[in-house]
Amino acid sequence: MRATRRLTVAAVAATTALTLSACLASPDQGDDQGAESGGPDDPIVIGVSLPLTGDFAEPGKGVQRGYEAWAAHVNENGGLLDRQVELVIVDDQSSADRVASDYERLINQDGVDLIFGPFSTRLVVPAAQVAQDYGFLFVEPAGAAAEVFEQGFDNLFYAAPAIADDHYNHLADHILALPEDERPETIAVASMDDPFAQGTAYGLRDALAAEGIEVVVDEVYPPNTTDFSGIAAKIADSGADLLVVGSQYQDGVNLVVALQQQGYQPEMAAISGAPTNAEFPAAIGDKTEGILAPTGYTPDAPYPSNEEFVAAYSEEHDAEPAEDEANAWTTGQVVAAAVEAVGCADASPECQQQLIDWLHGNEVETVVGPLSWDAQGRPQSAHLIQQYVDGEITIVLPDDVKEADLVHPKPEW
Amino acid sequence: MTGALFAQSLVLGILLGGLYALLAAGLTLYFGVMRVVMIAHSAFLILAAYLAWYFHERSGLDPLLSLVITVPLFFVVGYGMQRFLVSRLRPISLTTMSVLLTFAVALTIEGLLGFVWTGTQRRVQLEYSGASIEVAGVSIAVVKLIAFALAAVSLGALYLILRKTSFGRALRATTQHPEAARLIGIDTDRVAGLGFGLGLATAAVGGTALALDYTIYPSLHWHWIGPLMAIIVVGGLGSIPGAAMAAMLLGVAASLLQVPLGTTWAQTVFYLALFLTLMIRPQGFFGGRLAQRF
């Protein structure tokens, strides 16, 4: 008897609650999401999922620092649309399954107004799919592989100067313009089995192979590889003139050390990923000299908002920002430009579509220069090429922004 | 494959096999002594690597010196872990429950490493990190040689302890027949605890060797436990010489197969060997069942 009574009470309570919430939610759904957002004093809530642990923890934390620095800077300067900005950052543990459910939760349960993208191509694609399903604008700091732009997303924008395949364009042009006797004749390629790492490395490989330079080693390794001595043995055995590596971070470091252990001395070493990490010289020691790397960002770039960024970031962190931080900040700038121009920042499909449409038709001034996008979200610029010269990572290409001349052949490591 | 590349890969395989041998020896020791599947072995390995790295960061001294601290520390921790955690499991379900228990320990260690030192990837940077000795056209990295020497010395010491000391005899007796060992007056509980400590001490040595040549991060241990488990099954559970031989063989095989097959497929050699062993000779190829002989 008592149990039945209790059940009845519970059922009535539940029904009442459901009816009430339905009544509250039904009017003007479109332009107001109820109590959680929309008011002039409420913060604009931005949801992000990042790989703070696992394989991509290192760059993931860089992106986190960039997002947080951007939010703090915006809030100090009066916020966005006169509202404060609040970040909700969750950890996806570098897992593609987690990242999709994270964005589902951010959009459905946490009711965020805007979302920013995660790190790395492998996480960007599933995250962008969720954003597409809910009609959200999706600006991302780190999904540069060609396949990101071949999935039919029309809500995606990559907040960096160029996609992976174009990163080395300046270097490819430079190598092909070298006199015959200085030009490398053979290439050894090693890349992580990752669309972004492979995109950068293969962009250079294919550009050079098309002009008759011979590819003598072409290795792919899984992301969990820790022992690189076998790959290093193959590369050392080939004695290739040019080394091209597509790396993330620890793999690049381990491979370089393994190559040094086997006494391999290339004339030119182009390594994407690892060398632009601030920890790289500390991990390799004084043997970085001459290593080339493409970069979408340098603190020395003369764009107006970049000086503001470097000043704001350095003040908080006692260190200059790196590429991951910069791309995160760029993401913030791109979304902010759209929000300011359109005048809305909420989860409604109308507002999100207006933001998307605006970005398709306009150019945004960012810390990596002016950015505009094609219909699939590919940015329409090119990457700078940096080289370790006298222990400092320095811009060497293209000629109009270089800080030093490219050193070729590279000093022994 | 050129002759030089073959020779180089063979040497690399032997060096790697040596390290695997030491790590697998500890793992098979737990099983031999206690029928415990110690998933956390490689987590302790990474913990030791972190301690070596931290020691080097703080003191500026060679990370090898951290062995003076970590080996006794791990021995004590291992003894305590056996006496206060593993021995509380009911004997009837000990092997299966030990998987769960040590899995939890592994996750705890990984979490604590991330909490204390963050997920940032760490590397010990030494004067001799990139140095190598050239012998007949084959480059032998100094750090790999040191790791191999550490493994050889530790395995030798382990062998002497088990063969020549009365504790070793008691340990082997406990491994072979616990009831009989108790009947002749061996305190098998204490011996099992000391055996566990000995196994964990090998993880301290292996972790320090690892820190010399690898970039470390908290979740790295998952990459090690799979091959190590495969090695001890192939070698015969509980047999230390079996584990050492299987480690050497599979290490060399992985290194040589890497040349024609590439890195992705070369990694599968451990698991193929595991499947073959289970199909053809489930008790393992080198040791007898449960280390009847040492």
List pLDDT tens digits, range A45-103.
Answer: 999 999 998 878 888 899 999 999 999 999 999 999 999 999 999 999 888 889 999 99
Measured on CA atoms in the order A13, A18, A19, A23, is the torsion positive or negative?
positive
- For B181-215, b/e burial (b = at least 16 CB within 10 A) is beeeebebeebbbbbbbbbbbbbbbbbbbbbbbbb
- pLDDT tens, residue by residue, B142-181: 999 999 999 999 999 988 998 899 998 998 888 888 888 8
- Nearest-neighbour CA in chain A from B281: distance (Å): 30
Domain that holds residue A284: 168-295+384-401
Interface residue of A93, A226, A412 to substitute, partner B, most B CBs within 10 Å: A226
B135 — contact with chain A (CB < 8 Å)?
no
Phi/psi for B122 (5° steps) reads -115, 150
Taking only residues 137 to 156 of chain B, the set having a beta carbon closer than 8 angstroms to any beta carbon of chain A reads 139, 141-144
CA distance B100 to B37: 9
Whether residue A395 sits in one domain with residue A260: yes
Question: Does the beta-carbon distance from B132 to A413 stay under 8 Å?
Answer: no
Give pLDDT, residue A16: 52
SS3 A376: coil
SS3 A385: strand
Whether residue A265 sits in one domain with residue A229: yes
- Nearest-neighbour CA in chain A from B195: distance (Å): 30
Give pLDDT, residue A112: 94
Give pLDDT, residue B126: 85
- Nearest-neighbour CA in chain B from A231: distance (Å): 8
A342 located within any domain: yes
Whether residue A308 sits in one domain with residue A248: no
Give pLDDT, residue A30: 39
Closest CB from A53, A234, A254 relative to B215? A254
Is A35's pLDDT higher than 60? no
Question: Does the beta-carbon distance from A279 to B132 stay under 8 Å?
Answer: no
The pTM score is 0.74
A280 — contact with chain B (CB < 8 Å)?
no
Highest mean pLDDT among B28-37, B128-137, B220-229: B220-229
Given a contact cutoff of 8 angstroms between Cβ atoms, the answer to whether A228 and A251 are in contact is yes
B111 — contact with chain A (CB < 8 Å)?
no
Whole-number CA gyration radius for chain B:
19
Q: How confident is the model at residue B272 (pLDDT cuts 50, 70, 90)?
A: very high
Q: How many CB atoms are closer than 10 A to CB B293?
A: 11
Q: How confident is the model at residue A13 (pLDDT cuts 50, 70, 90)?
A: low
Burial class (CB in 10 A: 0-12, 13-18, 19+), A158: buried
Whether residue A174 sits in one domain with residue A255: yes
The CA angle A228-A233-A234, to the nearest 5 degrees, is 105
CA torsion A387→A364→A57→A297, rounded to 10°?
10
Q: How confident is the model at residue B231 (pLDDT cuts 50, 70, 90)?
A: very high
Contacts of A236 in chain B (CB under 8 A): 8, 139
Mean pLDDT of B272-294: 73
Of A104-113, B62-71, B284-293, least confident by mean pLDDT is: B284-293
Q: How confident is the model at residue B206 (pLDDT cuts 50, 70, 90)?
A: very high
B288 — contact with chain A (CB < 8 Å)?
no
The domain that contains A343 carries what CATH number?
Answer: 3.40.50.2300
- pLDDT tens, residue by residue, A209-266: 998 899 999 999 998 888 898 999 999 999 999 999 999 888 999 999 999 988 899 9
Give pLDDT, residue A8: 56
CA distance A352 to A39: 17
Phi/psi for A193 (5° steps) reads -75, 75
Closest CB from A219, A234, A282 relative to B5? A234
A31 versus A361: the higher-pLDDT residue is A361
A140 located within any domain: yes
Whether residue A212 sits in one domain with residue A157: no
Is B199's pLDDT higher than 60? yes
Question: Does the beta-carbon distance from A413 to B263 stay under 8 Å?
Answer: no
Whether residue A203 sits in one domain with residue A144: no
For B3-280, CATH number out of 1.10.3470, 3.30.2390, 2.40.128, 2.40.50 equals 1.10.3470
- Nearest-neighbour CA in chain B from A253: distance (Å): 8
Whether residue A159 sits in one domain with residue A59: yes
B262 — contact with chain A (CB < 8 Å)?
yes
Give pLDDT, residue B172: 85
Give pLDDT, residue A39: 58
User: Residue B246 corresponds to which tokens in the numbers above?
Assistant: 């299987």
Is A7's pLDDT higher than 80? no
- Mean pLDDT rounded to a whole number for chain B: 88
ipTM of the complex: 0.82
CA distance A77 to A84: 10
A314 located within any domain: yes
Q: DSSP character for A147?
A: G
Question: Does the beta-carbon distance from B121 to A279 stay under 8 Å?
Answer: yes
- Nearest-neighbour CA in chain B from A252: distance (Å): 10
User: Residue A68 corresponds to which tokens in the numbers above?
Assistant: 């947080």
Proportion of chain B above pLDDT 90, given as a percent: 47
Q: Where are the domains of chain B?
A: 3-280
CA distance A132 to A204: 32
Whether residue A57 sits in one domain with residue A160: yes
A94 located within any domain: yes
Whether residue A393 sits in one domain with residue A349: no
Whether residue A279 sits in one domain with residue A394: yes
Q: DSSP character for A48?
A: E
| Residue B77, CA distances (Å) to B80, B159, B194, B224 in order | 5, 22, 10, 21
Phi/psi for A384 (5° steps) reads -80, 155
Is B137's pLDDT higher than 70? yes
- Mean pLDDT rounded to a whole number for chain A: 86
Given a contact cutoff of 8 angstroms between Cβ atoms, the answer to whether B142 and B133 are in contact is yes
Whether residue A149 sits in one domain with residue A259: no
Q: How confident is the model at residue A333 (pLDDT cuts 50, 70, 90)?
A: very high
A379 located within any domain: no
Given a contact cutoff of 8 angstroms between Cβ atoms, the answer to whether A397 and A297 are in contact is no
Please tell me the total count of domains within chain A: 2
Q: DSSP character for A78?
A: T
A355 located within any domain: yes
Measured on CA atoms in the order A62, A67, A73, A75, is the torsion positive or negative?
negative
Residue in chain A nearest B219 by alpha carbon? A54
Question: Does the beta-carbon distance from A253 to B123 stay under 8 Å?
Answer: yes
CA distance B243 to A225: 23
- pLDDT tens, residue by residue, A334-346: 999 999 999 999 9
Whether residue A268 sits in one domain with residue A391: yes
Give pLDDT, residue B263: 85
Terminal C-alpha separation, chain B: 38
Closest CB from A54, A55, A222 relative to B263? A222
